[in-house]
Amino acid sequence: GYHCWLSNSQVALFIVDQPHNRLILVDTKDQSQETLESINVGRCLKRTPQGQLAFIDKETSNNWVITTYDLRTKEYTRVIKTLSGSEDFEILKDGSYIMGQGTKLYHYDPSNGEIKGWQEVTDLRYYDIHKITRLAVSANNRLALVAE
């Protein structure tokens, strides 16, 4: 599965399971774990600049939502629906999101609200990139992606 370190001792784990994948939070200091219930989670797990866990909640087969979970308050917040068929995203230092769909990269800034939604940034088809499947941003804001 996939994982995301949330702090020096807390890690979120994506566990492949039936009928739904599971999301488990583990504290490596005291070996405690918490399974987040009633969530069909996607594989992409990220840490927000505020220390929250961001993931995709696959509510139904065609309704996927980027959601955050606050480890202190135990509250979920819906951020925005994903682009159709896309389940990988990255969070930039300013708290905004990027996501790929097909040949295109999109950006979403939560401070602008869902009214603006996902904004196209670039089309990579001119570089013979066709299906973006994974994204990562380095500490110095450089983007790496996996695509066909």
Question: Residue 69, Cβ neighbours under 10 Å: how many?
Answer: 21
Question: Residue 59, Cβ neighbours under 10 Å: how many?
Answer: 14
Q: Comparing 5-9, 29-33, 55-59, 104-108, which segment has the lowest mean pLDDT? A: 55-59
* Domain extent for 125: 85-148
48 plus 118 within the same structural domain = no
Q: Which residues of 100-137 are buried (b: 16+ CB within 10 A; e: fewer)?
A: bbbbbbbebebeeeeeeebeeeeebeeeebeebeebeb
Average pLDDT for residues 19-47, to the nearest whole number? 88
94 plus 126 within the same structural domain = yes
99 plus 75 within the same structural domain = no
73 plus 34 within the same structural domain = yes
Rounded distance between C-alpha atoms, residue 122 and residue 126, angstroms: 10
4 plus 62 within the same structural domain = yes
Q: How many structural domains comprise the chain? A: 2
Asked which of 31, 57, 81 is the last residue of a domain, the reply is 81
The yes-or-no verdict on residue 114 having pLDDT over 70 is no
71 plus 91 within the same structural domain = no
**pLDDT, mean over the chain:** 91
10 plus 52 within the same structural domain = yes
Residues of the chain with pLDDT > 70, as a percent, come to 97
Average pLDDT for residues 33-41, to the nearest whole number? 82
- CB of 145 closer than 8 Å to CB of 136: yes
100 plus 73 within the same structural domain = no
Sheet containing strand 41-47, edge to edge, reads 41-47, 53-60, 63-69, 76-81
Give the residue carrying structure tokens 């987040």: 36
Asked which of 81, 103, 127 is the last residue of a domain, the reply is 81
The amino acid sitting at 94 is D
pTM for this prediction: 0.90
12 plus 71 within the same structural domain = yes
Q: Residue 1 — pLDDT band, cuts 50, 70, 90?
A: low
89 plus 143 within the same structural domain = yes
At 62-82, the pLDDT tens digits run 889 999 999 999 999 999 999
The amino acid sitting at 11 is V
116 plus 145 within the same structural domain = yes
- CB of 145 closer than 8 Å to CB of 138: no
55 plus 121 within the same structural domain = no
